[in-house]
A and B are shown apart, each in its own frame.
Chain A
């Protein structure tokens, strides 16, 4: 079972920031938070990941609360092409035989003009 909880759907106006929340209250100390998205039926696309600190890259920012029980993915200026299903995933940090991404149902983000 997925260790994360996300809202099933969200809307965002084009050009505005999209803030996608995720709860992971049972996360362990060595587990990373990952975000992927899937557009139509393409392969999941890696967005960003973090362990404890906030992270930013060219696609998005990841804000992780101090207790690490929740996080928010921020797309600073959403475009129509950001319409997709966004998955928040908790991934084990070590251990070859436990390394797997457990996908939940994700958040369907609809960006409208």
Chain B
């Protein structure tokens, strides 16, 4: 079974639409993250949650709203999509926050905004 799974794998949509990406982890981890990889391949953190509570919000536009219904899920909702939102979005989880607990990443959602 996949440890960190994201759906959908590909998402093509038009500017101005609202879309959601779902993430689930079956590792029993307390902490979950969203990372964004842009066209230049830079990976950057967007959010982190620990036990369903927001810990890090890395100055992401408020059109992006994460939601964690339980420890195993962290969804990402994006309002009023813009061309610049096109990227690959990766979900990740770790047992706890902090340096000794590796992050495990999903395989990403490739978002294309036209």
The interface of chain A, by Cβ under 8 A from chain B, is: 30-32, 34, 41-46, 49, 51, 85, 87, 91-97, 99-103, 105
Chain B binding surface, main DSSP class:
strand
The interface of chain B, by Cβ under 8 A from chain A, is: 4, 31, 33, 35, 37, 41-45, 48, 50, 55-56, 58, 88, 90, 92, 97-100, 102-108, 110
Tell me if A42 and B107 are in contact (CB < 8 A): yes
Question: Known contacts being A41-B110, A43-B4, A43-B90, is A101 close to B103, with CB within 8 Å?
Answer: yes
Tell me if A96 and B50 are in contact (CB < 8 A): yes
Bound-state Cα–Cα, A41 to B37, Å? 9
Tell me if B100 and A101 are in contact (CB < 8 A): no
Determine the chain B residues whose CB is within 8 A of the CB of A96 once the complex forms. 50, 55, 97-98
Chain A binding surface, main DSSP class:
loop
Tell me if A100 and B106 are in contact (CB < 8 A): no
